[in-house]
Structure 1
């Protein structure tokens, strides 16, 4: 194998390793600075644990969470078109 071939292999290897390390670093930094927001199930579990709710209270919590989810969806249906319109006009 010639020196030129060895040099090309080393350069390609460095590029590939650099690419892989770059992707890994990007993912790690993204997760560090943009943590995943907990979903409704995680939020429910956290509330139950923090407030030490009994079964009756958990049922009531589920009712409140369901109601609030519906209300937020309704609010979003009303708000989203106005928001999109304003965003479009100011962009």
Structure 2
């Protein structure tokens, strides 16, 4: 579950199923390749469900599994902490590599 994108994808799916393009709009800055890889990893982990509707044009929707919903519930307090402490977090000097 590492990386910055997976948590943002989970938040995007919080309210229900989304198509690929909708997930991409909800997660600004993510490349198509990274979104594909992240969604695959989340599927493999059993956190995200991929529903292929076998239509023309193709329609695929992504949603949280019950396991994914339970993970998101565990993440809510961390998100709330981040919102409460955003000013302090943003003030932390970034290391230059």
Question: Does TM, scored on the shorter chain, surpass 0.5?
Answer: no
What is the TM-score normalised by the length of structure 2? Answer: 0.29
Which structure carries more helix by proportion? 1
Higher-Rg member (1/2): 1
Relative contact order: is structure 1 or structure 2 higher (C-alpha 8 Å, sep ≥ 6)? Answer: 2
